[in-house]
Amino acid sequence: MAPGTPSVVCSGLDIVYSVFGAKQNGTDTGGELPLVERLLTRRNPVSTVRKVHAVKDVSFVVNHGEAVGIIGRNGSGKSTLLRAVAGLIPPTNGRVWAAGRPSLLGVNAVLLTGLTGAKNVMIGGLALGLTPRQVRERYDDIVDFSGIGDFVDLPMSAYSSGMGARLRFAISTAAAPDILMIDEALATGDAEFQARSRDRMAEIRRGASTLFLVSHSNAAIRESCERVLWMDRGRLVMDGPTDEVVRAYEQSHRKAHP
């Protein structure tokens, strides 16, 4: 885990989703016909498999101790890239290599919403590689940090989305993972929780772990990351120091909407 040595290597990564039951472009003219005519002619849309090329030929190397922001417009492939690096989606082409266990528990974790927060703390802790004893030792800290109070004894299905996100974040950062990945939804926490999250991220970084942060908040990216990957339509269009990349990204908005 020495700072300066590679933590994540992504080489020529392509991710293509297959969407089943979608209308294939060009094969269906039904949409252009008036409703009555469509009903009379019974011309139904052709259901088929549609490919969505969400990440296209992306390559980068991130070293231990780096905090990397991922920015880009809606649908540009940020979350998909993060999930692929976490090993949750197999690459269609290319390779992803990670030193250590990436933890995307931050927000997208599949916790069991039918179970109580308390049970999910145990499950999440075990998933992070902690022993049951370590989870018990850290239990109070995790629950305190999440700030969900007595709700911990209720099923997670009764939580607001912000409460769920806070508990996931608290669990995911309890084990100081080698590679912590945080997706946008973290921003659902209130201002006080966000301030505590930033402190916790700074603490994790001091432990020479690697941080990936997907966010639409350029302020959050500026505050937490020294390097930024800018994604656009699945491609990595810029990779460099935060100031440079965020400035170029903001300028591209101004050009698009002067």
Min. distance of Cβ 81 from ligand ATP in angstroms? 7
Both structure tokens of 234: 């699945």
CA dihedral sign, ordered 136, 142, 144, 147: negative
Residue 20 or residue 254: which is nearer to ligand ATP going by CB?
A: 20
112-121: string of b/e by CB count within 10 Å (b at 16+)? eeeebbebbb
Question: What residues line the site for ligand ATP (CB under 6 A)?
Answer: 17, 19, 52, 54, 72, 74-80
Looking at residue 153, the DSSP 8-state letter turns out to be G
Min. distance of Cβ 233 from ligand ATP in angstroms? 9
Min. distance of Cβ 217 from ligand ATP in angstroms? 12
Residue 15 or residue 142: which is nearer to ligand ATP going by CB?
A: 15
Residue 22 or residue 115: which is nearer to ligand ATP going by CB?
A: 22
Residue 76 or residue 210: which is nearer to ligand ATP going by CB?
A: 76
Min. distance of Cβ 95 from ligand ATP in angstroms? 19
CA distances from 132 to 65, 93, 137, 151 (A): 28, 38, 9, 22
Residue 72 or residue 117: which is nearer to ligand ATP going by CB?
A: 72
Min. distance of Cβ 62 from ligand ATP in angstroms? 18
CA dihedral sign, ordered 103, 107, 111, 115: positive
Looking at residue 125, the DSSP 8-state letter turns out to be H
| Vertex 180 angle, CA 174 and 186, to 5° | 80
